[in-house]
A and B are shown apart, each in its own frame.
Chain A
């Protein structure tokens, strides 16, 4: 039905896979005493290529490939670019902060790239089984990354927790897929949308969505499926936490958008109140718990739960605005959160030797630039205008408000008042005069990590001041999601 070769539809994934394989093979063949650092640069180049190829996909006519299982559209390109961007920044960040050669650097970079393959594929999948496989690819890579600091006690604990709970959650997702297959005879998203309202057993359809939601909400760390988040972030190194808190979540949100808006629009009256509740619980639980944290990484973990809540508020909106707002929010959140984790990496070190709130005291006096940037990212997370964080929140709550969810908006904005309490505490601690006796070293900034922070800073600022381009892309994505571009070839449906 289409003249575009199938391979073009998954070009970014192909490039990322080839890069990963190349890195793995190089790592295995070069002498053990050689430095592995340059493998990270290969990964960065491969990711950049994947990003460009994804932008190039915009010139293709929208459509599906491989028997209607994978799609390219404005929506997928949006998330591909976002995920490749996050992975690129994470790689740059790791290049300067990963300790010496004993640390299996080769595997580390390779795993990040392979994880990216899974995440990219997940955003393009329109067949739930492909989505499941993609989710597993990304998850397994991230499980390993979470446990990478195996010399500490917390690393393996973090990985094990993430692995056990994560497998449990994906099992829920798989169960949901099985049920919808039972109800409608298909696992294809467009077919589900067509057949679900006609299904004889309506309970089965609802149960399938509920189970899938459990699986996906776990991945985006929305309350009440959030308990793994602080432990996993605390146990993994800061660059990995930066990746975990953004890229897999962006991919999971893409899947969530697809499932609820594309596969189950008919069940709006079921998932809408459900997500309303999850949004309120997430932001409240996340913010209240974050207030009590003294460990900056745990605080950011709880803040990421709260942000999942703000993002879910967009789902209360009418579909076109809601999808665009949610997509925009993932981008804004990614920019500022990776940025702040980058600074935490620099201040605390790879081994988290200075991760407590008090270790940040006087940062702006020690390192004015780094301190100011920390404050910038924190005010963006707080949601002060002219930053990406505000624009994200603004669109999310405008969407909710536009659909008449006034209480959700009020609760959400009061929550950002609570959140200001802990973000500001960190910002103000870093602005305070340092104690005379404590001599913290001045953080060193290499080229790669400076580039990473500069990218995050620019992205956050541009999303706040000139959001039009990104918003336009997100809106186009929303349009393609609302109007399924092509019916799948008939040989897919049984």
Chain B
């Protein structure tokens, strides 16, 4: 063990915050805010790498690097943070994406960089907080906090109508979180604790009447599903992607909502999650197809990626609500893979936007001749996103679909597999329209430079990760699986006995 272990999570949480304050205090010239933000995010990344290095892999139960201190006395809210293999890699991913985001914004953000980087780093703190909080109120705090910098920055740097998109983004997440808070408070009045492990125990022990628990679980599910977003709650995502600075778009979607579903919906309410699983599986499959189909017809490439995200996120939902251990492992893997791919895709697209000042796909064409490096990397990312073997996207997709097929439901798996074709269609068509074919008016008339050194440095590690995880996914999969500890007997049951596809899933979902 290491002397850092007890405070490492707090360091990861607070370093961006300190960086944000520093950026706010120091003068706004000569790229000082950019450099401080970069430095802060690199230091944070270094700290996050401490986690896998010192993680006790053999440990099956409980959380690691845990701190549990009283924060507010009455009602008792604790500063309780810790990670297990569910959240470990998500924290690392957040750490990796932060410097990428800073580099992707380096030239894109021209006005008031000080405000931008302060809020960007604050956002970083909020997201890490979501992943490591084990006290429900603390978690709720970070969950809500994560909205603010995002909304402000969308309004400040929106491409067309930023404040409308920001308002939509904020309200879509804020209003469902009202029932979430009610549910959390209600749980507290019953159990007198906000502690995750205690609540898990009390709920599993059946100390709370199941009838009311159904509504509580539903409130949790609703709040998280909007954030993923699950069909039909995806209304905010495409506007957000179209308006948000790319550095923020790459961290907003998917991860937080999907993680929260795993930890706080399925993790806290296994019985209720199982009841509602057929519905979620159906919605997931609809979302997969719907997102992919809408991505096909988008004219704005940010919106296209947004609908692609809906499709990919829904695939993860399918894996989560299959309620199999392999599915969960694959879902975490897929979240990581999506995060990495979107980091690359959005950095390149953001770079294109900065050069040509438009996100209309039709204006482009033949950009590869002028931007060969960007084109190469983008093609690679697109192939990963489609799920080409030997790239990271394939592993996640394959595992999810095969697990669903063998352990959950054949028909849903077959329908979901159609998405592979659709995603190939929209991604490759996008590549073709942007980079190949005859030169468009815009690409012909504008003289641009290929990827800058900063942009290249930003995406290079992500590209490497796509390859490494694609070629040799086993270590990561094992590390995720090793600690997916069934927290109670009930969950163990859910995981070990696969749901019979004929009796449970298919009939109810068909209704």
Residues facing A in B150-176 (CB within 8 A) are: 151-153, 155-156, 158, 162-163, 166-167, 170-171, 174-175
* CB contact between B185 and one of A397, A427, A428, A429 (< 8 Å): that residue: A397
Q: In the bound complex, do residue A386 and residue B167 qualify as a contact, i.e. CB atoms below 8 Å apart?
A: no
Is B452 in the interface zone, CB < 8 Å from A? no
Question: How far, in angstroms, from A486 to B162 measured CA to CA in the complex?
Answer: 61
Answer whether A402 and B189 are a contact pair too, CB < 8 Å, given A421-B167, A428-B166, A432-B163: yes
Q: In the bound complex, do residue B171 and residue A420 qualify as a contact, i.e. CB atoms below 8 Å apart?
A: yes
Q: In the bound complex, do residue A372 and residue B115 qualify as a contact, i.e. CB atoms below 8 Å apart?
A: yes
Chain B residues with CB under 8 A of A413:
178-179, 181-182
Comparing B68-76, B378-386, B491-499, the segment that makes contact with chain A is: B68-76
Answer whether A410 and B179 are a contact pair too, CB < 8 Å, given A401-B189, A468-B73: yes
Question: How far, in angstroms, from A379 to B178 measured CA to CA in the complex?
Answer: 15
Comparing B140-148, B233-241, B257-265, B343-351, the segment that makes contact with chain A is: B140-148
Chain B residues with CB under 8 A of A202:
none
Question: How far, in angstroms, from A401 to B190 measured CA to CA in the complex?
Answer: 10
- Closest residue of chain A to B174, judged by CB? A420
Question: How far, in angstroms, from A471 to B24 measured CA to CA in the complex?
Answer: 31
Question: How far, in angstroms, from A352 to B229 measured CA to CA in the complex?
Answer: 43
Residues facing B in A367-383 (CB within 8 A) are: 368, 371-372, 375, 379, 382
Answer whether A406 and B178 are a contact pair too, CB < 8 Å, given A379-B148, A386-B145: no
Answer whether A417 and B178 are a contact pair too, CB < 8 Å, given A372-B115, A398-B188, A468-B73: yes
Q: In the bound complex, do residue A431 and residue B156 qualify as a contact, i.e. CB atoms below 8 Å apart?
A: yes
* CB contact between B144 and one of A385, A424, A433, A468 (< 8 Å): that residue: A385
| Chain B contact residues: helix, strand, loop or mixed | helix
Chain B residues with CB under 8 A of A417:
171, 174-175, 178
Q: In the bound complex, do residue B151 and residue A385 qualify as a contact, i.e. CB atoms below 8 Å apart?
A: no
Is B112 in the interface zone, CB < 8 Å from A? yes
Q: In the bound complex, do residue B163 and residue A429 qualify as a contact, i.e. CB atoms below 8 Å apart?
A: yes
- Closest residue of chain B to A376, judged by CB? B148
A-B Cβ contacts below 8 A, count: 111
Is B411 in the interface zone, CB < 8 Å from A? no
Q: In the bound complex, do residue B115 and residue A467 qualify as a contact, i.e. CB atoms below 8 Å apart?
A: no
Chain B residues with CB under 8 A of A432:
155-156, 158, 162-163
Question: How far, in angstroms, from A371 to B156 measured CA to CA in the complex?
Answer: 11
CB distance from B341 to the nearest CB of A (A): 30
| Chain A contact residues: helix, strand, loop or mixed | helix
Question: How far, in angstroms, from A185 to B24 measured CA to CA in the complex?
Answer: 63
CB distance from B153 to the nearest CB of A (A): 8
Is B312 in the interface zone, CB < 8 Å from A? no
Is A160 in the interface zone, CB < 8 Å from B? no
Contact with A along B367-400 (1 / 0, CB 8 A): 0000000000000000000000000000000000
Question: How far, in angstroms, from A368 to B111 measured CA to CA in the complex?
Answer: 11
Q: In the bound complex, do residue B112 and residue A365 qualify as a contact, i.e. CB atoms below 8 Å apart?
A: yes
Is B429 in the interface zone, CB < 8 Å from A? no
CB distance from A322 to the nearest CB of B (A): 13
Q: In the bound complex, do residue A385 and residue B141 qualify as a contact, i.e. CB atoms below 8 Å apart?
A: yes
Question: How far, in angstroms, from A471 to B75 measured CA to CA in the complex?
Answer: 10
Is A414 in the interface zone, CB < 8 Å from B? yes
CB distance from A421 to the nearest CB of B (A): 7
* CB contact between B170 and one of A397, A424, A433, A475 (< 8 Å): that residue: A424
Contact with A along B175-198 (1 / 0, CB 8 A): 100110110011011000000000
* CB contact between B182 and one of A371, A406, A431, A472 (< 8 Å): that residue: A406
Among A421, A428, A471, the most chain B Cβ lie within 10 Å of the Cβ of A428
Q: In the bound complex, do residue A431 and residue B185 qualify as a contact, i.e. CB atoms below 8 Å apart?
A: no
Question: How far, in angstroms, from A372 to B117 measured CA to CA in the complex?
Answer: 13
Q: In the bound complex, do residue A414 and residue B144 qualify as a contact, i.e. CB atoms below 8 Å apart?
A: no
Residues facing B in A382-398 (CB within 8 A) are: 382, 384-386, 390, 394, 397-398
Is B255 in the interface zone, CB < 8 Å from A? no
**Size bracket, chain A contacts:** 35 or more
Chain A residues with CB under 8 A of B80:
none
Is B325 in the interface zone, CB < 8 Å from A? no
Is A104 in the interface zone, CB < 8 Å from B? no
Q: In the bound complex, do residue A475 and residue B148 qualify as a contact, i.e. CB atoms below 8 Å apart?
A: no
Question: How far, in angstroms, from A472 to B73 measured CA to CA in the complex?
Answer: 9
Question: How far, in angstroms, from A428 to B148 measured CA to CA in the complex?
Answer: 10
Is A245 in the interface zone, CB < 8 Å from B? no
Q: In the bound complex, do residue B73 and residue A471 qualify as a contact, i.e. CB atoms below 8 Å apart?
A: yes
Among A379, A402, A424, the most chain B Cβ lie within 10 Å of the Cβ of A424
Is A416 in the interface zone, CB < 8 Å from B? yes
Is A425 in the interface zone, CB < 8 Å from B? yes
Chain B residues with CB under 8 A of A414:
175, 178
CB distance from B232 to the nearest CB of A (A): 19
Q: In the bound complex, do residue B175 and residue A406 qualify as a contact, i.e. CB atoms below 8 Å apart?
A: no
* CB contact between B152 and one of A382, A402, A410, A427 (< 8 Å): that residue: A427
Chain B residues with CB under 8 A of A390:
141, 144
- Closest residue of chain B to A368, judged by CB? B115
Answer whether A471 and B74 are a contact pair too, CB < 8 Å, given A409-B185, A424-B167, A425-B167: yes
Is A364 in the interface zone, CB < 8 Å from B? yes
Question: How far, in angstroms, from A409 to B75 measured CA to CA in the complex?
Answer: 16
- Closest residue of chain A to B138, judged by CB? A385
Is B433 in the interface zone, CB < 8 Å from A? no
Q: In the bound complex, do residue B151 and residue A424 qualify as a contact, i.e. CB atoms below 8 Å apart?
A: yes
Is B114 in the interface zone, CB < 8 Å from A? yes
Question: How far, in angstroms, from A432 to B115 measured CA to CA in the complex?
Answer: 13
Q: In the bound complex, do residue B162 and residue A398 qualify as a contact, i.e. CB atoms below 8 Å apart?
A: no
Residues facing A in B103-125 (CB within 8 A) are: 111-112, 114-115, 118
- Closest residue of chain B to A407, judged by CB? B182
Q: In the bound complex, do residue B140 and residue A385 qualify as a contact, i.e. CB atoms below 8 Å apart?
A: yes
Q: In the bound complex, do residue A384 and residue B145 qualify as a contact, i.e. CB atoms below 8 Å apart?
A: yes
Residues facing A in B277-322 (CB within 8 A) are: none
Q: In the bound complex, do residue B156 and residue A416 qualify as a contact, i.e. CB atoms below 8 Å apart?
A: no
Contact with A along B479-491 (1 / 0, CB 8 A): 0000000000000
Q: In the bound complex, do residue A428 and residue B151 qualify as a contact, i.e. CB atoms below 8 Å apart?
A: yes
Q: In the bound complex, do residue B148 and residue A384 qualify as a contact, i.e. CB atoms below 8 Å apart?
A: yes
Chain B residues with CB under 8 A of A394:
137
Question: How far, in angstroms, from A137 to B185 measured CA to CA in the complex?
Answer: 41
* CB contact between A471 and one of B72, B158, B179, B188 (< 8 Å): that residue: B72
Q: In the bound complex, do residue B167 and residue A428 qualify as a contact, i.e. CB atoms below 8 Å apart?
A: yes
Chain A residues with CB under 8 A of B174:
382, 417, 420
Q: In the bound complex, do residue A416 and residue B189 qualify as a contact, i.e. CB atoms below 8 Å apart?
A: no
Answer whether A431 and B155 are a contact pair too, CB < 8 Å, given A417-B174, A420-B174: yes
Q: In the bound complex, do residue B182 and residue A410 qualify as a contact, i.e. CB atoms below 8 Å apart?
A: yes
- Closest residue of chain B to A369, judged by CB? B24
- Closest residue of chain B to A397, judged by CB? B185
Question: How far, in angstroms, from A185 to B188 measured CA to CA in the complex?
Answer: 45
Residues facing A in B411-469 (CB within 8 A) are: none
Chain A residues with CB under 8 A of B158:
432
Residues facing B in A84-122 (CB within 8 A) are: none
Chain A residues with CB under 8 A of B74:
471, 475
Question: How far, in angstroms, from A386 to B152 measured CA to CA in the complex?
Answer: 17
Q: In the bound complex, do residue A421 and residue B171 qualify as a contact, i.e. CB atoms below 8 Å apart?
A: yes
Question: How far, in angstroms, from A475 to B72 measured CA to CA in the complex?
Answer: 13
Residues facing B in A427-478 (CB within 8 A) are: 427-429, 431-433, 467-468, 471-472, 475
Question: How far, in angstroms, from A397 to B189 measured CA to CA in the complex?
Answer: 11
Q: In the bound complex, do residue A386 and residue B141 qualify as a contact, i.e. CB atoms below 8 Å apart?
A: yes
Chain A residues with CB under 8 A of B73:
468, 471-472
Sample of 22 A–B contacts (CB below 8 Å) = A365-B112, A368-B28, A368-B114, A375-B148, A384-B145, A385-B141, A386-B141, A386-B145, A404-B189, A414-B175, A416-B178, A417-B174, A417-B178, A420-B175, A424-B166, A427-B151, A427-B155, A431-B152, A431-B155, A431-B162, A432-B162, A475-B74
With contacts A394-B137, A432-B158 known, what are 10 further pairs, Cβ within 8 A? A365-B111, A368-B115, A385-B142, A401-B182, A401-B186, A427-B155, A428-B155, A432-B156, A433-B111, A433-B156
Instruction: Give the 5 A-B CB pairs with smallest separation, nearest first.
Output: A385-B141, A413-B178, A431-B155, A428-B163, A417-B175
Interface residue ranges, A against B (CB under 8 Å): 364-365, 368, 371-372, 375, 379, 382, 384-386, 390, 394, 397-398, 401-402, 404, 406, 409-410, 413-414, 416-417, 420-421, 424-425, 427-429, 431-433, 467-468, 471-472, 475
